[in-house]
């Protein structure tokens, strides 16, 4: 009986977050496929990242080569509108205070949740999109290292975050 009581919250959480549409969307969008097309340093690499109404990126780490031309395609596979569940992808420069940026973004609605005083700390960013929309950003990979990325819509950074890992 004690074991059942221990499992009850997990069962309820799983049941409340289950959506038959989620499996359908994942199958249609091909999230199980490797989204990175391997290319030599001088060629473009294309990365597809899916975001959803559950405030999740399907990738939390992406790897590229230093100096490589990178094309990131962000697809919002949810249904919520941009004002209710907007998503973007922002890559921060090395040394940027992640939490300070995320907290400042809350008050930057007029600038797509990119704090004007911290724009210099952004390597690349996408536009803000809603359910069913797609946006693209392109940039040249920075020097070798690890760089934070996040969705800067208020509160999303808690769950929608990851690392861009740049190798030689």
How do residues 109-167 score in pLDDT, each as one tens digit? 999 999 999 999 999 999 999 999 999 999 999 999 999 999 999 999 999 999 999 99
Which residue has better confidence, 24 or 78?
Answer: 78
How far is 88 from 76, CA to CA, in rounded Å?
9
What predicted TM-score, i.e. pTM, was given to this entire model? 0.76
Domain span including residue 49: 45-166
The predicted structure's pLDDT at residue 93: 98
- Which CATH number characterizes residue 141's domain? 2.60.40.420
40 lies in a domain?
Answer: no
How far is 58 from 47, CA to CA, in rounded Å?
11
Confidence of residue 41 (pLDDT cuts 50, 70, 90): low
The predicted structure's pLDDT at residue 147: 98
Mean pLDDT of 25-33: 30
For tokens 């969307």, what's the residue? Answer: 25
90 lies in a domain?
Answer: yes
For the beta sheet containing 134-140, the strands, ordered from the edge strand earlier in sequence to the opposite edge, are: 45-51, 69-76, 134-140
Return the percentage of the chain with pLDDT > 90, whole number.
74
109 lies in a domain?
Answer: yes
How far is 32 from 57, CA to CA, in rounded Å?
13
DSSP conformational letter for 119: G
- Mean pLDDT value across the chain: 83
13 lies in a domain?
Answer: no
CB-based contacts of 97-101 (< 8 A; 24+ apart in sequence): 98/148, 98/150, 98/157, 98/161, 101/150, 101/152
157 lies in a domain?
Answer: yes
Per the structure, how many domains does the chain have? 1
């Amino acid at each position: 009986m004690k074991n059942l009581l221990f499992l009850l919250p997990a069962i309820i959480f799983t049941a409340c977050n289950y959506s038959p549409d989620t499996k359908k969307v994942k199958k249609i969008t091909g999230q199980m496929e490797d989204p990175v097309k391997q290319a030599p340093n001088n060629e473009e690499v294309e990365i597809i990242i899916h975001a959803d109404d559950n405030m999740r990126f399907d990738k939390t780490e992406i790897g590229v080569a230093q100096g490589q031309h990178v094309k990131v395609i962000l697809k919002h596979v949810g249904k919520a509108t941009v004002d209710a569940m907007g998503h973007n992808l922002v890559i921060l420069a090395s040394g940027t205070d992640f939490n300070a940026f995320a907290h400042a973004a809350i008050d930057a609605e007029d600038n797509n949740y990119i704090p004007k005083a911290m724009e210099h700390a952004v390597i690349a960013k996408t536009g803000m999109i809603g359910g069913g929309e797609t946006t693209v950003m392109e940039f040249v990979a920075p020097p070798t290292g690890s760089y934070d990325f996040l969705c800067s819509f208020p509160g999303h950074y808690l769950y929608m975050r990851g690392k861009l890992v740049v190798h030689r």
